[in-house]
Chains A and B, each alone.
Chain A
Amino acid sequence: MKRVLAALAALALAASARAEADPDAQESSRFGSVELRLSGYRPNIDAEFGGLATPYHDSFGGRRGWMAKVGVSKEWYHGFGTFETGVSAGYWEMYGHGHYSDGSVAADSTALKVIPTSLMFTYRFDWLAERIGIPLAPYGRFSLERMNWWVDRGSGDTTRSGATNGYSLTGGMALLLDFFDPTLAREMDRDTGINHTYIFVDFTKSKIDDFGSSHSWDMSDTSTTLSGGLLFIF
């Protein structure tokens, strides 16, 4: 424990020294942030059958597909941390095979495709990173989620489409990349207006089943979602 504290103290001292090395640095004005996010995803559709049937697994197997999202947030408060609201959208798809009436696997393909959209409320404790020089910013997020989905059959035609709503809770850690090259970061701010760049990793627990509606399936992730990406403050 003492070693950890010593390491953190050394990191803080080094960071302070870095911050003092460029006292004239002026940030451009801030609007909010843009984030690029990549995660795995597998909808929990089979959950409603309680193990008696597994139509999703039968069609698509047990793989998790990649989901990519882009988000834009408006900054409302910046002081002892930052509070933002924003929206995001992305894309996910999974291809599998249909089944003949006897249950055997057909050559015809079938696909589930999703455009996930979110309304995000984020608090990021970036005070340490931006004021003290410790390049870590823990954050938390509550999101209202809407999964816009459609199912395709072998011909490529859409069989059915719909949307499922829900919410999610996210906790994560962002690493301020400016820390590693403050001069380059300031030049980037002057040239592009990007004040700070973070790389982040977070965990999300989602509940997306139209809030328990008896007419909806469960589009929550089957497990806690691990995501990573880049965050640009501008």
Chain B
Amino acid sequence: MAPRLAALLLLLPTVALAQVTTTTGAVTIAESNDSDNAINIAECNGSIADTLSFTWTVSTYSVIPTGGSFTLYVSDTSGCPLSTTTSTANTATIASSIPTNGSSSGSYSGVSVSSVLHSSGLTFSCSVPSTIFVCATTVDGSGAVATAVGSIALDASVPPAPVVNDPSPGDQALGVSWSSGSTVVDGGTTGTAASYEVFVTTHGGAFPVNPSATVTSPSTSARVGGLVNGVLYDVVVYALSSGGNISAASNVVSGTPVHVDDFWSSYRNAGGKETGGCSHGAAGAIALVMAPLLLLARKRRRP
């Protein structure tokens, strides 16, 4: 293995020269923490644990030597050039000598987001939006280089805290609406909200970990059900960027669900005579009329 690794390392300059023009496959990247295909600030700085898994296939080069290997590395430049060939490119190796086993596909998992982004040679900042390129490269039996490339966004934008209006009372529910707000209080850049999370608790209580409602932007309202009429509740709303960066908390508003008459209740309260269920009175006569006709039609169709 050591001689092959040495040979591969010797080949890296050649690999680098070819890589700019020989992107021949795709790397698929998956996060352990979520599936939004973006690394947010908390995942970047390690305050939320997140690991990456990679699968790739190099498509053009079909003659993969049985004893060959893949090298997996991160780049901040499209096309995955190595820093040895492009002065502006920064790269860091995730893993080398991943055996090909004669296949054009490979996989690698368990890579800590925060550790790889802060590797020596890379200059990613958790507060600067970037695209992280992941590259899997190998050399086929003819000596040509094949490089599969994938990317994942570094989302450094933080949406402003929403501004929540007084909730409208509903029946065992509160109607909550808000505007997107304009103040950024986190360390990120100003961002656009991709979704909102609404949290509800009884007045003065701690807000739960899980939201009572999640709303996708551009909608800015939600109906939170499952509440008790006559009980005062507190409501707070957070905005989330596409990568999951959470805004500061909105203003906290309070509201009390009350009984609401729907149309049926209004009708009955007005003295309406309909009671629901299947029809009354001569309805049976209708059924008697319809049934023979349907039976007759079926009978005539039979040979």
- By a beta-carbon cutoff of 8 Å, the part of chain A in contact with chain B is 45, 48-49, 53, 55-56, 58-60, 74, 85, 96, 98-101, 106-108, 110-112, 119, 144, 146, 151-155, 159-165, 210-217
Contacts and interface: CB of A to CB of B under 8 A. Distances in A.
Contact of B260 (A58, A98, A152): A98
16 contacts: A53-B271, A99-B261, A107-B168, A108-B170, A110-B262, A112-B263, A151-B262, A153-B262, A154-B173, A155-B173, A155-B223, A162-B276, A163-B279, A215-B280, A216-B273, A217-B272
Contact of A210 (B259, B265, B279): B279
A192 B260 CA distance: 53
Contacts of A56: 263, 267
A151 B265 CA distance: 10
Interface in B166-196: 168-173, 175
A38 to B, nearest CB: 24
B266 A55 contact: yes
A45 B270 CA distance: 12
Given A49-B270, A55-B266, A106-B170, A210 B282 contact: yes
B35 interface: no
B25 to A, nearest CB: 47
A211 B281 contact: yes
Contacts of B7: none
Contact of A211 (B168, B223, B266, B285): B285
A154 B297 contact: no
Contacts of A162: 274-279
Interface stretch (B51-59, B125-133, B198-206, B286-294): B286-294
Interface hub of B171, B262, B282, B297 (most chain A Cβ within 10 A):
B262
B264 interface: yes
Contact of B263 (A49, A110, A212, A216): A110
A63 to B, nearest CB: 14
Contact of A55 (B168, B259, B263): B263
